[in-house]
Amino acid sequence: MSQNPRFSVLLLMMVALIMLAVPLFAHHGTGVAYDSKKPTVVKGIVTDFAWRNPHAQLFLDVKDESGNTQQYAVEMNSPGVMTRQGWTKRQFKAGDEVSITVYPAKSGAPVGSCIGTCKVLINGKDATPTIAVEDR
């Protein structure tokens, strides 16, 4: 361990983040398609929320840098896991303003994943789930 406390703290926090992130991805069937090194905040308006297996899907209208609207899809936990996180099919409704931290698709497609306890704001209110449970 370094003798510099600030360096020690930084190192410890980095290790902790890696430990938190890896298991969530390791249990997820499409995890290999996403870039876990690039957490990205996506902001948009909800157009649909599909409460379905194998994983719930959130669809947003987002604006690109040119101001054009594009659909962005977010893969989320399965309904069973979300139920145990205290969520329901009414978690999102069309028109909600959402800010969500996703791991973006490596392919560059407008798709990202929010598995486990990624940060979610709904109409400015923090809705980040607090219980992480294993997922398929």
Question: Two tokens at 74?
Answer: 């977010």
**CA 35 to CA 116: how far, in whole Å?**
15
When the beta carbons of 20 and 41 are compared against another protein, the nearer one is 20
Which residues, 6 or more positions from 46, have their beta carbon under 8 angstroms from its beta carbon? 58, 59, 60, 92, 93, 94, 95, 96, 97, 98
Residue 99 CB, shortest distance to another protein, in Å, is 20
Q: Closest approach of Cβ 23 to another protein, in Å?
A: 5
Whichever of 44 and 79 has its CB closer to another protein, that residue is 79
**ω before 5 within 30° of 0 (cis)?**
no
Token digits for 103? 């791991």
| Residue 52 C-beta: closest distance to another protein, Å | 5
Residue 119, amino acid: K
Please identify, using beta-carbon distances, which residue of 80 and 123 lies nearer to another protein.
80
How near is the Cβ of 79 to another protein at its closest, in Å?
8
Give whichever of 63 and 86 is closer to another protein, judged by the CB atom: 86
| Distance, CA of 44 to CA of 60 (rounded, Å) | 5
Q: Are 42 and 74 in contact (CB under 8 A)?
A: yes
CB of residue 22 to another protein, shortest distance in Å: 10
In the complex, the residues that contact another protein under the rule CB under 8 A are 1, 3-5, 8-9, 12-13, 16, 19-20, 23-24, 26-34, 50, 52-55, 57, 73, 75, 78-80, 83-84, 105, 107-109, 111, 113, 117, 130-134, 136
